[in-house]
């Protein structure tokens, strides 16, 4: 096993995405004078912050070979809980803390069912996704809850020309995620569980505890995302966050993490989010109808995955 | 083994605890979400006390009722089923309440159903299929898009249950090709909505006259119709430039990003027409964050409670209103008529443009 070969393989997805991103950035800045402005980039970062947070949480879960389909519903329910607290005249801080605690609770609930009853994460989180969404609809009666104090909406907006809370939160979490994934036992175990769970159990690691903690992490990210979109839109509604979990999976897989677990790629996830954000932004900047958006995203996702897979097979000589 | 049982018990306990937790949140809701609740009760009070009804609503009711002559005699045992699009959209939640209020007023029975989400066409058809095997005297339906309910309508035709189409239209040509038919129709002219909004917007746009449209789901009748109408007016008016048409799938968060990007690409943008109020409200939030709210005229459609407040506060510039209460009542009367075997003509609902100058006339509009 050559180390060099391994490191090329390790960074292949990132390099590929970075290449596409560079081409796209060159093209867009040539086409529009507005593209390469700080304001526009702040916009792109603002837009991707939510997807990035969810994808980072999802990355740890996917590294174990699991998946968390309840993220989107969790985003929605967390936002609604915060909204209800605010309407009941709770302080902004306590509303946020209660919302995040609820999110954490939902994540632990996911993790416990998966670990203790041994049901596939796909099925469990598919079920809880519907459960949490249903709760959100029942609680609100289908109507949005809107209009919050500025101390709360601050968390989604901030000054238009400067780094705002969503971007700062996403950056901190990104750095934290890189550190946790690659420098701590906690992160390494997530990939080890995806690689060979049984082996890890045999050496006496409390796999169950760790597994639940990854679903907790994923849910905490959903909680933060819920805070951001509720504050940003100044409204919490039962349809919020729909499909966000799949956007997160897209970014994770496109970034080079394996769906079957064992290999996770935080920087790849970040580049994938950035690329998706630039594509969406670019379409509007160029006034191209987003009829093409779905197609382009699907095409990129498939190409990135197929290329990475073909390369890997070549290496391990299937 | 023992460990497993303990774990199982733990999870069961968790489920129960979470269940109890939910129960509490639910029961607390009425007190804790005062705006939502008060809006609802306001509406139902006005339904009962004729005196408080907004004169504009009465006017609209007259226009609709005159089209419904001669009125049927309403028997107590008339039972009507209504199928709306989704109970996660404030407009349709309002419509459900309006149906129930109107049925109470007319002394007949109505049961309201919906698909699970706004995008789930199959779920809405499933709901219709379930309704067709029940004993309704007539069914009023509002499809997600022109085609998704057609198989259900064919089954209703076979079972002899009259079908009324309210709001978003069923594609009649293809329905007839398949041997089906509608028994009545209350139509909203979406193209006309788009036109009216665009004309009103032009009056309020004082700057560059650059406009953009934010659409709903591509292919949805409301979205395409409104876009088409607005586009016609913008393109026919000299000096107005339609710079972009972008879909945001009726989604608040998507509309926010689209509006953000639009203002970057066109810093001198002067107007945004969003195909519903939810997206218009999101655009207002985005422009406020950019400090451009004063320079851009934002219109939506539906005139929801939230939009009314935004127009009053000057955050949105206008919307299109069509009164749910009158709609629902007219639909029920029409349904009762066809249930009696009367033939009916399509009925058109009146539309009103609401803007910053006339919003005070729309107090108590429902």
Contacts of B25 in chain A (CB under 8 A): 81, 84, 139
How much is the pTM? Answer: 0.78
d(CA A110, CA A101): 14
Name the band, by pLDDT with cuts 50, 70 and 90, for residue A317: very low
Scan for tokens 């955050």, then name that residue: B315
Neighbours of B27 (CB within 10 A): 9
A14-53 residue pLDDT tens = 888 899 899 999 999 898 888 888 888 888 998 899 999 9
Angle, to 10 degrees, between the axis of helix A207-233 and the axis of helix A92-116? 140
Q: Where are the beta strands (DSSP E) in A117-255?
A: 145-146, 235-236
Where do the domains of chain B lie, and which CATH numbers do they carry? 37-188+323-350 (3.40.50.2300), 191-321 (3.40.50.2300)
Count CB neighbours of B152 within 10 A: 24
- Is A252 inside a domain boundary? yes
- Provide the pLDDT for residue B3: 53
8 Å CB contact of A50 and B253:
yes
Nearest-Cα distance to chain A for B340, in Å, is: 34
Closest CA to A113 of B173, B180, B82, B18: B18
- Is B93 within 8 Å of A289 when comparing Cβ atoms? no
Task: Specify the long-range contacts of residues B35-38, CB closer than 8 Å, at least 24 apart.
Answer: B35/A87, B35/A145, B35/A146, B35/A147, B35/B305, B36/A140, B36/A141, B36/A143, B36/A144, B36/A145
Q: Is residue A6 part of a domain?
A: no
Give residue-wise pLDDT tens across range A113-134: 999 999 999 999 999 999 999 9
Residue keyed to tokens 């729309």: B362
For B39, name the nearest residue in chain A, comparing CA atoms only: A143
Residue A2 lies in a domain: no
Q: Which residues contact B176 (CB under 8 A, 6 or more apart)?
A: none
| B87 with A233: Cβ contact below 8 A | no
Those residues of chain B that have pLDDT short of 50 are 1-2, 8-51
**B301 vs B224: CA distance, rounded Å:** 13
Q: What per-residue confidence (pLDDT) applies to B16? A: 44
Q: Is A60 a residue whose pLDDT tops 50? A: yes
Q: Which CATH number belongs to the domain containing residue A90 in this structure?
A: 1.10.3470
As a whole number, the mean pLDDT across chain A is 89
Which tens digits make up the pLDDT trace of B2-53?
Answer: 455 555 444 444 444 444 333 333 333 333 333 333 344 444 444 444 445 6
Tokens 């009711």, located at residue = B61
User: How large is the ipTM?
Assistant: 0.76
The number of folded domains in chain A is 1
Answer whether residue A164 shows pLDDT above 90. no
- Beta bridge partners of residue A176, listed in sequence order: none
Does some domain include residue A299?
yes
Nearest CA of chain B to the CA of A316: how many Å? 40
Instruction: Say how far apart CA A139 and CA A78 lie, in whole Å.
Output: 12
Quick one: pLDDT at residue A38? 86
> Out of A43, A84, A239, whose CB is closest to B261?
A43
Distance from CA of B251 to the nearest CA of A (A): 8
Q: Calculate mean pLDDT across residues A277-292.
A: 80
User: What is the percent of chain A with per-residue pLDDT over 70, rounded to a whole number?
Assistant: 93
| Cα–Cα separations (whole angstroms), residue B239 to B204, B235, B242, B265 | 14, 9, 10, 19
Q: What is the pLDDT of residue B14?
A: 45
CA distances from A20 to A10, A13, A27, A64, A298 (A): 18, 11, 11, 29, 14
DSSP-assigned letter for residue B212: E
Question: Tens digit of pLDDT for each residue in A42-59?
Answer: 889 988 999 999 999 999
Whether the Cβ atoms of residue A30 and residue A148 lie closer than 8 Å to each other: no
Beta-strand (E) ranges in B68-202? 79-86, 109-115, 138-141, 163-167, 184-187
pLDDT at B290: 86
Task: State the Cα–Cα distance between residues B274 and A75, nearest whole angstrom.
Answer: 25
Q: What is the pLDDT of residue B34?
A: 37
The first and second tokens of residue A190, run together, are: 């997530």
DSSP character string of B83-117: EEEETTSHHHHHHHHHHHHHHHHHT-EEEEEEESS
For residue A290, the enclosing domain spans 14-316
How much is the pLDDT for A9? 64
């Amino acid at each position: 096993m050559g180390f060099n070969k391994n490191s090329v393989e390790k960074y292949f997805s990132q390099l590929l995405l970075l290449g596409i991103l560079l081409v796209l950035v060159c093209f867009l800045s040539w086409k529009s004078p507005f593209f390469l402005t700080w304001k526009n980039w702040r916009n792109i970062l603002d837009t991707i912050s939510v997807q990035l947070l969810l994808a980072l949480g999802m990355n740890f879960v996917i590294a174990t070979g699991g998946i968390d389909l309840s993220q989107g519903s969790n985003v929605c329910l967390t936002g609604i809980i915060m909204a209800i607290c605010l309407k009941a005249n709770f302080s902004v801080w306590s509303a946020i803390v209660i919302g995040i605690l609820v999110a954490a609770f939902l994540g632990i609930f996911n993790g416990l069912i998966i670990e203790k009853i041994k049901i596939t994460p796909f099925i469990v989180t598919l079920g809880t996704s519907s459960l949490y969404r249903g709760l959100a609809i029942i609680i609100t009666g289908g109507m949005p809850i809107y209009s919050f104090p500025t101390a709360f909406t601050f968390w989604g907006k901030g000054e238009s020309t400067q780094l705002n809370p969503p971007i700062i939160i996403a950056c901190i979490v990104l750095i934290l995620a890189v550190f946790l994934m690659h420098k701590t036992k906690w992160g390494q175990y997530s990939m080890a569980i995806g690689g060979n769970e049984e082996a890890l159990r045999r050496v006496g690691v409390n796999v169950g505890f760790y597994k639940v903690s990854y679903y907790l992490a994923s849910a905490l990210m959903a909680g933060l995302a819920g805070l951001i979109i509720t504050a940003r839109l100044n409204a919490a509604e039962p349809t919020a966050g729909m499909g966000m979990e799949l956007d997160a999976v897209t970014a994770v897989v496109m970034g080079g993490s394996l769906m079957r677990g064992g290999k996770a790629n935080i920087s790849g996830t970040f580049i994938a989010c950035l690329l998706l954000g630039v594509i969406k932004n670019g379409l509007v900047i160029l006034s191209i109808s987003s009829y093409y958006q779905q197609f382009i995203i699907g095409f990129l996702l498939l190409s990135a995955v197929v290329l990475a897979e073909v390369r890997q097979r070549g290496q391990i000589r299937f | 083994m023992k460990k497993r049982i303990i774990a199982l018990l733990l999870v069961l306990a968790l489920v129960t605890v979470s269940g109890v937790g939910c129960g509490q949140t639910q029961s607390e809701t009425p007190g804790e979400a005062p705006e939502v609740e008060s809006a609802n009760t306001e509406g139902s009070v006005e339904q009962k006390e004729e005196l408080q009804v907004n004169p504009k609503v009465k006017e609209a009711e007259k226009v609709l009722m005159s089209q419904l002559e001669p009125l049927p005699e309403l028997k107590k045992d008339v039972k009507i089923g209504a199928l709306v699009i989704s109970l996660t959209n404030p407009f349709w939640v309002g419509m459900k309440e309006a149906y129930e209020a109107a049925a109470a007023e007319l002394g007949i029975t109505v049961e309201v159903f919906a698909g699970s989400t706004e995008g789930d066409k199959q779920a809405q058809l499933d709901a219709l299929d379930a309704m067709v095997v029940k004993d309704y005297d007539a069914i009023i339906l509002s499809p997600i898009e022109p085609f998704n309910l057609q198989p259900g309508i064919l089954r209703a035709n076979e079972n002899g249950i009259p079908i009324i189409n309210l709001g978003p239209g069923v594609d009649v040509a293809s329905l007839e090709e398949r041997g089906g038919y509608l028994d009545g129709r209350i139509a909203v002219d979406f193209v006309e909505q788009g036109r009216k909004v665009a004309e009103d917007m032009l009056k309020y746009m004082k700057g560059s006259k650059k406009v953009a449209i934010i659409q709903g789901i591509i292919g949805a009748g409301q979205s395409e119709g409104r876009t088409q109408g607005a586009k016609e007016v913008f393109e026919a008016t000299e000096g107005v430039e339609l710079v972009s048409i972008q879909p945001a799938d009726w989604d608040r968060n998507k509309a926010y990003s689209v509006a953000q990007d639009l203002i970057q690409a066109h810093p001198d943008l002067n107007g945004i027409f969003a195909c519903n109020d939810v997206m218009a409200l999101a655009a207002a939030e985005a422009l406020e964050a950019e400090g451009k709210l004063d320079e851009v005229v934002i219109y939506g459609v539906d005139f929801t409670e939230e939009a009314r407040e935004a127009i009053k506060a000057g955050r949105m510039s206008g919307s299109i209103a069509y009164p749910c209460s009158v709609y629902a009542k007219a639909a029920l009367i029409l349904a009762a008529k066809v249930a009696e075997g009367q033939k009916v003509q399509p009925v058109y609902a009146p539309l009103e443009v609401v803007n910053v100058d006339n919003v005070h006339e729309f107090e108590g509009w429902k």
